[in-house]
Amino acid sequence: MTTDQIVIFSVLGLILVLFIWGRWRYDLVALFVLLLLTVVGLVSPEEAFSGFGHPAVITVAAVLIVSRALFNSGVVDYIVRLMSKAGDNFNVQILILVLAITISSGFMNNIGALALFMPVALRMARKSERSPSLYLMPLSFGSLLGGLITQVGTPPNIIISIFRTETAGAPFRMFDFAPVGAGIALVGIIFIVLLGWRLIPQRKGQLSAEELFKVEDYITEVVVPEKSALTGKRVRDLENMTDGDVAVVGHIRKDQKFAAPSPYRTFQENDRLIIKADAEEIQELLNVSGLEIADSEKLNAEALSSEEIIVIEATITTNSVLERRTARGMKLRSRYGVNLLGLAREGGRLRSRPDRVRLRAGDVLLLQGPTDTIYEVLPTLGLLPLVERGLRVDQPPRTILGVLIFAAALVMAALGYLSIQVAFTAAALVMVLAGFLSLREIYDSVDWPIIVLLGAMLPVSQALETTGGAELLADGILGVAGNVAPWVTLTIILVGTMFLSDLVNNAAAAVLMAPIAISVSAGLHASADPFLMAVAVGASCAFLTPIGHQSNTLVMGPGGYKFGDYWRMGLPLEIIIVLVGIPLIMIFWPLGL
């Protein structure tokens, strides 16, 4: 083993440790490692940032923009409208949910598809009085299965397509993944609908915000007594009377209710105030302000909302600015105009004050804010609403135009008239000019951490090849496989990629495993296509943990899942995928020995 190989393997080990540790976000890890390899000389300064101009990076960004435009066109709303007729039969509900998200994820970003269908699934659970855990994990797994079907279904497919250019002179085309991916997706759907959901632990999921958060436990109604010194004072004056985290989240004057009142709203005698604070802070406030506890009925979330103010649930995504920060430190109220009323984690309400808890991806927040702006604030904060917004008014010509633009890009890329990066960049531009999304939405729709991850990891992958590290790992795999049949080696590549994708981002798994797969195929004097296809399948099958893919992370909080719940359905599903996937790969992509 050469010095360069020792260095590259040490760096790869560091990558895996940092990815699994999770203290640093994966894009920062990738950028750190890229700079480290540049400093030690394994990546030249000229090549260090070449990955950001790589066709795979451009394609991923263009596909994300087109997915957002397609969503805005209303075509997916039409699908959701059809799903509302599913009825209360559980098996029918699961079938429709999983089938719909699988098909949608084949052609649009799977996180975007999950964001749309998750509120639908929660509504079904609450209406049927069943635990959300029975709905959300099948939904997440369906979004991953859908990514297997097309080249644009998931970033790993795009990455693998570009790697194929090194061995075959041309990338995989749009529907080259379908014979294998669609077969696996179909078998996966059948498993989930007939058996898989039965393996999910039925957590005692709370079915409504009122049950989950019990707002009456941490809000108190008080009254401004006659001749009070608070008469004429403002909301902000009251909140600053103590050093505690006191917030006025409701103001009632006679028959008028003002939810989330302005900091400059003034008080009058006999006004009733709804205060968010813990017991000690309430007592301190009563002592210094002269307020009195009101003799009122039990408070609930409805007391905190009005025509202008809404109380909603939202979950934290993996790239949220709130991750590892507190609501108090983020100053949610002063900066964004929203109040954090409650916090739930893994299906249970945290007893600690929500403003002081360091937030995690998958946490569920109960938020109060203006109805007309809160849905604009949520994407800025990296939050996914768990309630359905009103569906768009029917605009058939607009919807049809959006579908035609998207279909044109698919056809041009599938027939080879345009490269996929050119076809989808052109589609994105046309959709912007047609008014399907604004300039701001263009940048909001791109998952920038993924873009940075890919741009940084591609030169790292190249260093793995140029140092001979990929060939050395391939020789190790071939040595372990010995004289067994080539399909065994193919299985090792598939299972190894699956295992890696359960621990790190699936795009990173594809970037790291692709050069190894190419070297293994060269060692066997076989076609690289089946081995690259095995990497593509394995990278998209992160079913064992909540950290392997963002979809799994997003459903963890709303579904009330524990870390160890995923493998119960995920392990049998991965075994089935291997048993079905290997024969399909060998049939449609022969080894060519």
Name the pLDDT band for 210 (thresholds 50, 70, 90): low
pLDDT, residue 348, reads 66
SS3 for 53-74 is HCHHHHHHHHHHHHHHHHHHCC
Name the pLDDT band for 327 (thresholds 50, 70, 90): confident
What DSSP assignment string belongs to 80-101?
HHHHTT--S-HHHHHHHHHHHH
pLDDT, residue 593, reads 62
pLDDT, residue 39, reads 92
Instruction: Tell whether the model's pLDDT for residue 63 goes beyond 80.
Output: yes
- What average pLDDT does the segment 225-239 reach? 86
pLDDT, residue 94, reads 93
How far is it, in rounded angstroms, from Cα 228 to Cα 266? 13
CATH code given to domain 309-385: 3.30.70.1450
pLDDT, residue 391, reads 46
Instruction: Tell whether the model's pLDDT for residue 141 goes beyond 90.
Output: yes
- What average pLDDT does the segment 358-382 reach? 85
Contacting residues for 96 by C-beta, under 8 A, at least 6 apart: 83, 86
pLDDT, residue 209, reads 54
pLDDT, residue 426, reads 95
Instruction: Tell whether the model's pLDDT for residue 214 goes beyond 70.
Output: no
Task: Tell the residue number behind the tokens 């604070």, with chain if given.
Answer: 277
- What average pLDDT does the segment 132-153 reach? 93
pLDDT, residue 84, reads 65
Q: In whole angstroms, what separates CA 203 from the centre of its chain?
A: 22
How far is it, in rounded angstroms, from Cα 276 to Cα 234? 16
How far is it, in rounded angstroms, from Cα 120 to Cα 136? 10
pLDDT, residue 424, reads 93
pLDDT, residue 206, reads 44
What DSSP assignment string belongs to 8-34?
HHHHHHHHHHHHHH-SS-HHHHHHHHH
pLDDT, residue 427, reads 93
The answer to whether 474 and 525 are in contact (CB under 8 A) is no
pTM: 0.82
Return mean pLDDT, the chain: 85
Is-same-fold flag (209-299; 309-385)? yes
Residues 413-466: tens digit of each pLDDT: 888 888 899 999 999 999 999 988 888 888 888 888 889 999 999 999 999 988
Residues 486-535: tens digit of each pLDDT: 899 999 999 999 999 988 888 889 999 999 999 999 988 899 999 999 99
- CA dihedral (169, 174, 175, 180) in degrees, to 10, reads 70
- What average pLDDT does the segment 5-19 reach? 89
pLDDT, residue 577, reads 97
Q: In whole angstroms, what separates CA 226 from the centre of its chain?
A: 52
Name the pLDDT band for 167 (thresholds 50, 70, 90): confident
Q: Which residue has the higher pLDDT, 101 or 276?
A: 101
Domain boundaries, given as residue ranges, for the chain: 61-204+395-448, 209-299, 309-385
Name the pLDDT band for 343 (thresholds 50, 70, 90): confident
The answer to whether 343 and 364 are in contact (CB under 8 A) is yes
Return the bridge partners of 311, or none.
Answer: 368
Instruction: Tell whether the model's pLDDT for residue 243 goes beyond 80.
Output: no
**Which range in 183-187, 314-318, 486-490, 544-548 is most confidently predicted, on average pLDDT?**
183-187
What are 283's two structure tokens?
């007592």
How far is it, in rounded angstroms, from Cα 382 to Cα 212? 22
| Superfamily grouping for domain 209-299 | Regulator of K+ conductance, C-terminal domain (3.30.70.1450)
Q: Which residue has the higher pLDDT, 349 or 16?
A: 16
Instruction: Tell whether the model's pLDDT for residue 394 goes beyond 90.
Output: no
What DSSP assignment string belongs to 220-237?
EEEE--TT-TTTT-BHHH
The answer to whether 309 and 370 are in contact (CB under 8 A) is yes
Residues 24-40: tens digit of each pLDDT: 888 899 999 999 999 99
**Angle at Cα 206 formed by Cα 204 and Cα 210, nearest 5°?**
155
Percent of the chain with pLDDT over 90: 32
How far is it, in rounded angstroms, from Cα 494 to Cα 513? 10
**CB 544: neighbour CB atoms within 10 A?**
22
Task: Tell the residue number behind the tokens 């991750």, with chain if given.
Answer: 323
How far is it, in rounded angstroms, from Cα 164 to Cα 170? 6
Name the pLDDT band for 308 (thresholds 50, 70, 90): confident
How far is it, in rounded angstroms, from Cα 258 to Cα 265? 10
Q: Which residue has the higher pLDDT, 285 or 496?
A: 496
Of 445, 555, 374, 413, which Cα lies nearest the Cα of 70? 445
Instruction: Tell whether the model's pLDDT for residue 177 goes beyond 70.
Output: yes
What DSSP assignment string belongs to 407-438?
HHHHHHHHTTSS-HHHHHHHHHHHHHHTTSS-
DSSP, res 48 = T
Of 97, 142, 96, 137, which Cα lies nearest the Cα of 117? 97
Residues 38-55: tens digit of each pLDDT: 999 999 998 889 989 888
How far is it, in rounded angstroms, from Cα 304 to Cα 281? 20
